[in-house]
Structure 1
Amino acid sequence: MFILRILYNLFIIILIPFAVPIGFLIALRKKEDADYFQRFGFITFPEPPAKTVWFHCASVGEVRSLKQLINAFRRRYPDAEFMISTTTATGKAIAEKELKPYFAFLLPIENPIAISYILYCMNVKATVIIDTELWPNFISSTSKHAPLFLVNARISDRSLGGYMKIRRVISPLLHKFEHIFTKSEEDTARFAALKGSSEGISTLGNIKFSEFDGEPDLSVIKPLNDRPFIAAASTHKSEEEAAVKAFRKSGFAGRLIIAPRHLNRTDECLALLKSSGLRACTLTEFNPDCDAVVVNVFGQLEALYRTADRIFIGGSIANVGGHNIFEALRFGRHVAVGPNMQNFREIYELAIKYNLVTTVKGEEELAAFFAAPEPEGSFGDFRAEVQASADERLSKFLEAIKVALAD
């Protein structure tokens, strides 16, 4: 293990001279260069508070999943501050805008010197990693300074085999956590198998499924509201083809809106729509005469879910495990998905219970969903169960960090 760590850090040192300029050019092109060098530890911190809890999130989805937890944290520990690090510039921007932390910054990835400085400089009493961000140097450095927690931890069906192959590397990292809170009983069993012990691992449930308050900004998609529309969101290649065929077969009197999972596929989606005989355009070059629109602007899914007449969420016909349906369910909307929802099994099964989801196998069943009136579900009962479960989950976590903040 010691030799592996030396080799790992040697690889990082060799990589840095190439990564810095290439990464900067990419950030410059995306107009995300303002805080770029924070990624390498060049961070100017504000005056440190008496005690801080450090939350680390990968990107936007993880940041937004923290809303309820942060609100509960503020109520429970009013004398403590929190800061947030992210691995993406968009995640940092959303954290600053929506969560109002004491400080937000880009994580100096695998820079143990910078991480140690942050821990001491900001009086960090506990560190919380959201989802499964297993950076070895980050975990080792933070665990030496204060209790380290993993929240919303999960291991997908697809990644389990790979993790098991490097179990000798993963197991020592998992032992450094004070506690691991998983999304499901299945995830608890998987983490126990990787760690070699179930001690310090418990099922908390998914903290992403708890925030019902707040309305999205509808200004960007406002032009679409001149006609009814179907939203096919977070789609992959085969799903866009299915959505187009289903839209045409359904006879839906409105538009088809495609929001691909990866925006770099905008031109591909546009070509597909045009080749199918639809008048197509992008959202940024919207034309009222268009029958179909490709969303080429980041962060518009909730706005689409709020106003669409029918909703299909991708990653579920294409077998990638499904994408987050709660973002639509929180507005009381009924959604269609494919049969592959293993990444969001908990919320999917709850949505089935309250008739808020329709499972389709392909274009024929999707066309039927588009053509029929939106089914009525028991949204009030769904919301009540989710919120009751969320309160219990948050209480467990807040109690776990009590000792760290008492110092």
Structure 2
Amino acid sequence: MFILRILYNLLIIIIIPFAVPLGFLFALKKKEDADYFQRFGFITFPEPPAKTVWFHCASVGEVRSLKQLINAFRRRYPDAEFIISTTTATGKAIAEKELKPYFAFLLPIENPIAIPYILYCMNVRATVIIDTELWPNFITSTSKHAPLFLVNARISDRSLGGYMRIRRIISPLLHKFEHIFTKSDEDTARFAAIKGDSANISTLGNIKFSEFEGEPDLSVIKPITDKPFIVAASTHKGEETAVINAFLASGFDGRLVIAPRHLHRTEECLSLLKSAGLNPCALTGFDPCCSAVVADVFGQLEALYRTADRIFIGGSITNIGGHNIFEALRFGRHVAVGPNMQNFREIYELAAEYRLVTTAANEHELAEFFSSPEPEGNFEGFRAEVQASADERLGRFLEAMKVALID
């Protein structure tokens, strides 16, 4: 492992001179140049607090999942501050706006010099990685400095085989964590199999399913609310056709709004809608005469969920495994999904128990959902169970952090 790590770091050092100029051009194109050099460790830090916890989130979804945890953290440890790193500029911006950390920055991924520098400069007492971000240098450096925690840890059906094939590499990394908190008992068993033992691994549940407070900003999508509309959110290639066919068959008197998972597919979705005989436009060029809209603006899903008359969430017709339905459920909305929800099995099964989700096995069943009144579920019961579970989960996690924050 020692030799592998040396070779790995040599490879990173070789790549950096080529990555800097290429990445800078990409950053300029994406208008992220202001933060670009943070990715390589060029970060100006503020005066460090006495105690700091470092949270790392990949992007927007992970950042937003932290809201309730951060609120509980501030109440439990008022004398500690927290910093947040992300791998995307959008995630960093959302963290600064919604979580108000002491400092937010872009992670210098796998930089063997920058990571120890950050730990030293900011008096980091503990590091918390949200979701399964297993960067070898990051894990090795942070675990040497202070206790390291993995929260919302998950291994999907599709990735399990790959992890098992390289378990001799992954297992030593997993042993460096103070504790691994998984999303489910199944994930706990999978991490134990890869690690080689179950010590310091326990099921916490999904911290993404806890935040019911707060209203989205509706200003961007307000123009399309002049008529009833159906939203098909986080759709993937192949799913839009099924949604369009169901929409046309339903006779729904209003618009169809498609919010593709990847915005670069906007033109493709517009073409599909036009081929189906609809009059489409992009949200950024909205025309009230349009019968269909492609949401080509990032970060509008919650606003669409809040105002749509019917909601379908994609990644569930194709074998992606589904996307986060809690973002819609938290507003008391009923959602429709396809049959493939294995990535969000816990919240899907709970929502089904409270009659808040409809599983459409085909276009005909989806058309029925679009044309029927929104089913009435037991939202209050759902909310009470989720909240009680969330309070218990957060309490367990914050108790585990005492090892780092209590002098």
- Say yes or no: does 1:75 pair with 2:75: yes
Equivalent residue for 1:403?
403
Deviates more, 1:66-75 or 1:13-22: 13-22
- The answer on 1:245 being equivalent to 2:245 is yes
d(CA) in 1 for partners of 2:201 and 2:180? 5
Match of residue 207 from structure 2:
207
Q: Is 1:165–2:165 an aligned residue pair?
A: yes
Q: Deviations over 1:332-382 (max 9, x none)?
A: 000000111111010000000000000011211111100000000000000
Q: Percent identity?
A: 85
Please name the residue that 1:343 is paired with.
343
Aligned partner of residue 42 in structure 1, secondary structure: coil
Give unpaired runs (5+ residues) of structure 2.
Answer: none
Q: What is the SS of the residue equivalent to 1:55?
A: strand
SS in structure 1 of the partner of residue 62 of structure 2:
helix
The DSSP-based 3-state class of the residue aligned with 1:126 is strand
Is there any run of 5+ residues in structure 1 with no aligned partner, and where?
Answer: none
**In structure 2, what is the equivalent of residue 394 of structure 1?**
394
* Bigger shift: residues 374-383 or 359-368: 359-368
Q: 1:212-243 CA deviation, whole Å, 9 max, x = no partner? A: 00000000000001100000000011110100
1:104-183 matched pairs, under 5 angstroms = 104-183=104-183
TM-score (norm 2): 0.99
Contact 2:55 2:85 in 1 (8 A): yes
Q: Distance in 2 between the 1:103 and 1:386 partners? A: 30
Shift of 1:170: 0.4
CA distance in 2, matches of 1:113, 1:10: 12
The residue number in structure 2 matching 1:298 is 298
- Aligned position for 1:4: 4
1:50 matched residue in structure 2: 50
Q: Which residue of 2 aligns with 1:323?
A: 323
Deviation at 1:112, TM superposition (A): 2.1
Q: 1:185-213: per-residue Cα shift (whole Å, max 9, x none)?
A: 00000000000000000000000000000
Return the offset for 1:3.
Answer: 2.0
**Aligned partner letter, 2:6:** I
Letter in 2 for 1:53: V
Task: Tell me which amino acid in the other structure corresponds to 2:323.
Answer: H
C-alpha separation in 2, matches of 1:11 and 1:341: 38
- Once the two structures are TM-superposed, the CA of residue 16 in structure 1 deviates from its matched residue by 1.2
TM-score of the aligned structures, taking structure 1 as reference length: 0.99
Give the residue type in structure 1 aligned to 2:73.
F
- Deviation string 1:73-127 (CA, Å, 9 cap, x unpaired) is 0000000000100000000000000000000000011012111111111110000
After superposition, the C-alpha distances for 1:155-211 in whole angstroms (9 at most, x for unaligned) are: 000110111110000000000000000000000000000000000000000000000
Query: Which whole-Å CA distance do the structure 2 matches of 1:25 and 1:214 have between them?
Result: 37
Rounded to whole Å, the distance in 1 between the matches of 2:237 and 2:50 is 50
Q: What's the Cα RMSD here?
A: 0.6
Matches within 5 A, 1:234-383: 234-383=234-383
